[in-house]
Amino acid sequence: MNPETVLKTNPMLAWREIDGSIVIISPEHSMVHELNPTASFVWKRVDGRRTADEIAEQLAAEFDVTRESALADVHELVESLVANQLVSALELAEVKAHV
């Protein structure tokens, strides 16, 4: 994943933090997803401004994991979120063009 890739949640989703975990409803597909605490940490930082690498840095600082491990985990998670249409990955240039 390009380090300049910015992550944005799908605006059609409904979601809430329930008991420490993010629960996501996808109205278009009638699907419910529940994220584990680490994935929930990442989800709460997907704001259309941060890149996956920036979120991984925060994950490494918050949890007792190396930067490399956090990067690998976040990239794997983001790929899964993108594949499930929960998150879209935008190039930084694309984001700047819309500002």
Partner 1 sequence: MSRTTHVMDDLILRTVERHLPFSVHLDLTYRCNERCVHCYLDHEDYGEMTTEEVKRVLDELAEAGTLFLTLSGGEIFLRQDFFELLEYARALHFDVSLKTNALLITPERARRLKELGVRKIQVSIYSADPEIHDGITMVPGSLRRSIEAMRLVKSLGLVATIACPLMKQNLTAYRSVLLLAEELDVPYVLDLTITPMMDGNHSTVNHRVKAQDLLPVLRDSKLNPKLRISPMASVSSDSAVSSGMPLPAESDDLPCSAGHNTCYISPYGEVFPCVQLPVAAGNVRQKKFEDIWYRSPEMRRVEAIRESQLTHCGNCSIRIYCERCPGLALMEGGDLMGAYERACEMAEMNARLAGAESPVSAFHAFQAASGSLSSRGLRPIATGLISIAPMRTV
- Per 3-state DSSP, the chain is made up of helix, strand and coil in percentages (nearest 5) of 40, 25, 30
Does residue 31 touch partner 1 according to CB under 8 A? yes
Does residue 11 touch partner 1 according to CB under 8 A? yes
Q: How far apart are CA 59 and CA 91, in angstroms?
A: 21
Does residue 83 touch partner 1 according to CB under 8 A? no
40, 75 Cβ separation under 8 angstroms = no
Does residue 19 touch partner 1 according to CB under 8 A? yes
Does residue 32 touch partner 1 according to CB under 8 A? yes
- The count of residues interacting with partner 1 (CB under 8 A) is 18
Q: Which stretch binds partner 1 (CB under 8 A): 11-19, 36-44, 46-54, 86-94?
A: 11-19
Q: Report strand pairing: 14-18 vs 87-91.
A: unpaired
80, 33 Cβ separation under 8 angstroms = no
Give 26 or 58: the residue with its C-beta nearer to partner 1. Answer: 26
Contact positions toward partner 1, by CB under 8 A?
11-19, 23, 25, 27-28, 30-34
